[in-house]
Amino acid sequence: MKVAAFNLQSNQKMDVLMTYKKPDQKTGVWLIGGLGSIAATVMVGTLALKEGLIPAVGMVTGTDAFRPLGLAPIRGFEFGGWDIRRQPVIDGARRMVLECGAVDPALLVDLADELAEIDSWIKPGVVHNCGQAINSLAEGAGCGRKPLLAEIDELRGHLRAFRKDKGLTDLVVVNLASTEPPLPLEEHHLHLASFEKRLQADDATTIRASSLYAYAAIMEGCPLINFTPTAGTLIPALLELAAKRRVPVMGNDGKTGETLVKSALAPMFLSRNLEILSWEGFNILGNMDGKVLENPENRATKIQSKDRVLSGILGYQPHSAVHINYVPSLGDQKTAWDFIHFQGFLGAKMSLQFTWQAYDSLLAAPLVLDLIRLAQFALHRGEWGLMPHLASFFKAPLGVAVFDHHQQFAMLNEYVRGVAPGQG
C-alpha cells in the first residue's frame, strides 16, 4: 500500500505533468553528481509524483500556463548519472531524508525497488582539477588517471548505452555536482579548436572534470543544464560546440534561496529611488554542498555567482559581501540572514533585515525537473545554444544581462506565449 507522505489537499493539476501528446515518450535524465542530495531529491520526487504521492508544489511547469506546450511527462523519466562516490542510490536518498528532516522516511519504503533499479546506471565519474575538497570524496574505479580522449569515450559510451537500454526518445544531462574552484579562462577555454587540440595532446593541466562531462554530453546531442556555479561546464569553447552540434544548453547556478529573494527584493529599492549602501549576506548550511564550500577555493566560485546580482539590477555596486559557513548540524536546511542598509530622503539611513530558512534540496529539485522538461522541449523545437528564457532559474544566467527576477520571469512567460500552439 502506498504511503502518501504529503497532504494532498490540492491535485496541483497533476495531468499537466503526466500527460503528453506522445504518451509513449521516455525521456532520459542523466545527473552529474547522481548520488548527491539534490539528485536524490530529484529522483525520489519524480518517483513520488509518478505514484501520485505528492503534489507538484514548487514546479513552475506544473502550472496551467505550461499546459499548451505538451512538455515531456514526468511518468516517462528514466534516471542515470555519474558520481565519484560508490554507494546504492537509496543510501543517498536516506542521507537526504536524514539531513532534511522534512520528508517522511516511509516514502523511501514505497520507492525502494524503483530506486534500486537506478543503481546500475550510476556510473563512475572523473576527477580532474576539481580541488582537494572534491578529490577527497572520490572513491573506487573511474577516478584514476586515463587519457582525456579515453575518458570522454567512456563517458559517451555510458550515455549511448543508457539511451539504447531504456529506449529513450531524448536524454537530458544536468550538472548537480559539487562546486569546482574558480576557472581562470585561457585560450583553450575560449575556442573549440584550441580545446580539442588540448584534448588530443592529453594535456589535462587546466581541463576540469565538468568540461569533460559537458563535452561528452554535447557530442551525444544531449541538452545540458548546469545547475552549479562551476564555470568549466559551459566555457565559451563548449558553447561553440553546442552551436555546432545544435544542442540547447543553459546555466549557471540554480537560484533557489537567498539570491532568489535578493533578485526579487532589490528592484523594490530601485523603483523607489532608495540608495542601497550595504547588503551583507550570511549563509550557513550543513549538507555535502556546505562541506565542499567550506574549502576557500570552492567557496570563491559560489560567491562570484551570488555577487553579480546586485550590481546587475541596481546599475551600481554598493558595499556587499556574501559569507558562507559550514554548520554540520543544519543538514539540508540552509539559513541566510541578510542585512540591507539603505539611504532615503534627507540622507536618513534605514535598514531591512530578512531571514531565509529552507531545505536546499527541496527547493532545487522541482526546478531541475522544470529545466529538464523545458530543455527537452527546446530540443524538439530545433532550438540550440543558450536558452535565455530560462534566466529566472539561475543566479548567473549565461547570455542574459537581466538580473531582476520579475523581468526574468516575464521573459519565460513571453517565451511560453510565443511558442504555444496557435500563438506563434
Sorting pLDDT into bands at 50, 70 and 90, what band is 100? confident
Nearest to 369 by CA among 5, 47, 6, 19: 47
* Spatial contact of 260 and 395, defined as CB atoms under 8 Å apart: no
- Spell out the domains of the chain, with CATH numbers in brackets: 14-254+362-419 (3.40.50.720), 258-359 (3.30.360.10)
Residue 8 confidence (pLDDT) = 30
More confident residue, 343 or 179: 343
Mean pLDDT of the chain: 89
Cell of 255: 537560484
Cell of 132: 582537494
Q: What is the mean pLDDT of residues 41-61?
A: 93
Report the distance separating Cα 243 and Cα 260, nearest Å. 29
More confident residue, 124 or 295: 124
Percent of the chain with pLDDT over 90: 71
Residue 267 confidence (pLDDT) = 97
Residue 34 confidence (pLDDT) = 96
Collect all residues with Cβ–Cβ distance below 8 Å to 75 and sequence separation of at least 6. Answer: 17, 18, 50
Kindly compute the dihedral angle of the four CA atoms of residues 153, 114, 67, 34, in this order, to the nearest 10 degrees.
-40
Residue 137 confidence (pLDDT) = 78
Alpha helix ranges (H) inside 146-205: 148-166, 187-190, 192-200
Q: What is the pLDDT of residues 33-48, one digit of tens each?
A: 999 999 999 999 999 9
Report the distance separating Cα 191 and Cα 269, nearest Å. 40
Residue 16 confidence (pLDDT) = 47
Least confident piece of the model among 75-84, 110-119, 176-185 = 176-185
Residue 7 confidence (pLDDT) = 32
Beta-bridge mates of residue 353: 339
More confident residue, 32 or 292: 32
Q: What is the pLDDT of residues 364-378, one digit of tens each?
A: 999 999 999 999 999
Cell of 227: 545547475
Reply yes or no on whether the pLDDT at 94 is more than 50.
yes
